[in-house]
């Protein structure tokens, strides 16, 4: 044990740890950037987007067909109308529809003056100079009102939303070529351990490949963080101290893996206390208990346990809330509820993250099946999982069918 680190609060509940992390992170909110919308997918919107005008801006056709006056339609029998012109989307010569006439129209074209209805092409036939419309088209059909999507002044998108393809489309439809988003957080990732060998290099006895560099690097990327660099470090205090200090000088956040438990080579808690501040160490969760959080200068430092599953679980449970607070993101990582498909016995007083497969039955009920590989070193369990089941602290037996909270693993929800 590290005598220095013992003085810091240990064994917080998950909720206490999250609250502390978010409170610190809220003092480290990133700035904003105005960027081209084509580069904004996945970014966090920094400002509300207000509709500057009605969308659509004019009454137009929802179908390819014929624009006509609803009063001309006969509900019981076919209606014959004289074709007097046409208007295509983008056309600016807007004809006028007189009684007993119609105008050929395409989807999105402005509705001709006098017209209030569009008969879809499939419900019509051409007969010489006339169009014959089958009975059934209701007056007012197939017309899009101006402003039916957005009215001028509507709050269309809110600050804190993630920019999805459709939301980018909305911004473009308002005529904006740029959008103000939260600046991407910059991270340095440190993986630590004398046993680590990069993929592509042969393993010696007792060595393993450094998989956390890739799983944690990908989690950062998936959450919109810019990875400035990665360093693979030996369990060597001077090298670790130097790397932590340099990383904190360059990045908004430093994420490290390994070296935070109570083993002989677990130097991180002591080193962080030396070069910065420890805000919390150890959280009552399984896996991931030795999680360490602190700061060096303006950088926040998240030291994750080396076990691969602990890394993923602590990232989602404890790093992601900080990233969201720093970028004021409001929409990520929603928890779902699902029914257990088998009994679970929980014997310890820590929040447990169980690797689980999700399936939805015919009636729309979501079911969670805990996977067999639940060891914190077994990456297979998390690789095959759709979600983590989050079981509360109390030791308890859960019967088959109990509704539990689940945290989806499939990317940014």
Residue 155 dihedral angles phi and psi, to the nearest 5°: -85, 100
* Residue 311 interacting with Mg ion (CB under 5 A): no
Within 337-396, the residues that bind Mg ion by CB under 5 A are none
CB of 259 to Mg ion, least distance (A): 5
- # residues near ligand AMP by CB under 6 A: 21
Site string for ligand AMP, 36-75 (x = CB under 6 A): ----------------------------------------
* Residue 95 or 259 with smaller CB distance to ligand AMP: 259
**Alpha-carbon separation of residue 413 from 111, 157, 200, 230, 347 (angstroms):** 40, 17, 33, 26, 31
* Residue 208 interacting with ligand AMP (CB under 6 A): yes
Q: How many CB atoms lie within 10 A of CB 194?
A: 12
- Identified binder of ligand AMP from the candidate list 307, 327, 369, 374, rule CB under 6 A: 307
Distance CA 413, CA 226 (A): 19
CB of 265 to Mg ion, least distance (A): 6
Q: Yes or no: say if 163 and 44 are a contact pair by the CB < 8 Å rule.
A: yes
* Residue 375, binding choice from ligand AMP, Mg ion, none, Cβ under 5 to 8 Å by partner class: none
* Residue 263 interacting with ligand AMP (CB under 6 A): yes
- Strand, coil or helix: 290: coil
* Residue 130 or 195 with smaller CB distance to ligand AMP: 195
- Strand, coil or helix: 357: strand
Site string for ligand AMP, 134-173 (x = CB under 6 A): ----------------------------------------
Tokens 């998950």 belong to residue: 14
* Residue 305, binding choice from ligand AMP, Mg ion, none, Cβ under 5 to 8 Å by partner class: ligand AMP
Closest CA to 210 of 194, 226, 229, 186: 194
Distance CA 391, CA 275 (A): 36
Q: Yes or no: say if 19 and 280 are a contact pair by the CB < 8 Å rule.
A: no
* Residue 191 interacting with ligand AMP (CB under 6 A): yes
* Residue 413 interacting with ligand AMP (CB under 6 A): no
* Residue 303 interacting with ligand AMP (CB under 6 A): no
Q: Yes or no: say if 255 and 306 are a contact pair by the CB < 8 Å rule.
A: no
* Residue 95 or 258 with smaller CB distance to Mg ion: 258
CB of 270 to ligand AMP, least distance (A): 14
Distance CA 266, CA 374 (A): 24
* Residue 193 interacting with Mg ion (CB under 5 A): yes
* Residue 211 or 277 with smaller CB distance to ligand AMP: 211
* Residue whose Cβ sits closest to ligand AMP: 306
Write b or e for each residue in 136-156: b if 16 or more Cβ atoms lie within 10 A of its Cβ, otherwise e: ebeeebbbbebbeebeeeeeb
CB of 406 to Mg ion, least distance (A): 30
Residue 221 dihedral angles phi and psi, to the nearest 5°: -60, -45
- Strand, coil or helix: 71: helix
> Interacting stretch for ligand AMP, rule CB under 6 A, among 300-308, 327-335, 341-349, 367-375?
300-308
* Residue 195 interacting with ligand AMP (CB under 6 A): yes
**Backbone angle region of 273, left / alpha / beta, with phi > 0 → left and psi within -120 to 50 → alpha:** alpha
Binding site for Mg ion (CB under 5 A): 193, 258-259, 306
């Amino acid at each position: 044990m590290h005598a220095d680190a013992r003085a810091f609060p240990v064994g917080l509940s998950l909720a206490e740890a999250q609250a502390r992390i978010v409170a610190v992170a809220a003092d480290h909110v990133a700035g904003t950037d105005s960027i081209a919308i084509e580069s904004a997918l996945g970014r966090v919107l920094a400002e509300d987007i207000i509709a500057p005008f009605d969308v659509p801006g004019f009454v137009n056709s929802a179908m390819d067909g014929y624009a006509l006056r609803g009063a001309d339609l006969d509900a019981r029998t076919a209606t014959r109308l004289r074709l007097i012109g046409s208007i295509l989307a983008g056309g600016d010569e807007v004809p006028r529809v007189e009684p007993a006439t119609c105008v050929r129209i395409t989807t999105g074209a402005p509705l001709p003056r006098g017209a209030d209805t569009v008969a879809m092409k499939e419900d019509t036939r051409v007969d010489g100079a006339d169009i014959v419309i089958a009975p059934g088209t209701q007056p007012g059909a197939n017309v899009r009102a101006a402003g039916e999507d957005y009215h001028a002044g509507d709050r269309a998108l809110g600050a804190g939303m993630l920019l999805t393809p459709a939301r980018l489309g909305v911004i473009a439809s308002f005529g904006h070529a740029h959008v103000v988003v939260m600046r991407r957080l910059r991270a340095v990732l440190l993986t630590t351990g004398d046993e680590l060998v990069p993929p592509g290099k042969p393993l010696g006895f007792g060595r393993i490949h450094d998989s956390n560099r890739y799983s944690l690097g990908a989690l950062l990327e998936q959450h919109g963080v810019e990875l400035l660099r990665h360093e693979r470090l030996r369990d060597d205090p001077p090298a670790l101290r130097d790397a932590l200090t340099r990383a904190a000088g360059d990045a908004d956040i430093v994420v490290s893996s390994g070296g935070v438990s109570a083993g002989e080579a677990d130097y991180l808690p002591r080193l962080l206390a030396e070069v910065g501040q420890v805000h919390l160490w150890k959280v009552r969760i399984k896996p991931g208990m030795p999680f360490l959080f602190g700061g060096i200068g303006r950088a926040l430092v998240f030291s994750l346990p080396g076990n691969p599953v602990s890394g993923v679980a602590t990232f989602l449970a404890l790093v992601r809330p900080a990233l969201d607070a720093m970028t004021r993101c409001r929409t990520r990582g929603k928890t779902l509820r699902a029914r257990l498909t088998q009994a679970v016995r929980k014997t310890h007083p820590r929040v447990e993250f169980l690797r689980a497969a999700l399936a939805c039955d015919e009636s729309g009920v979501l079911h969670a099946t805990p996977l067999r590989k639940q060891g914190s070193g077994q990456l297979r369990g998390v690789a095959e999982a759709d979600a983590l089941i989050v079981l509360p602290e109390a030791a308890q037996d859960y019967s088959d069918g109990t509704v539990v909270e689940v945290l989806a693993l499939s990317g940014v929800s």
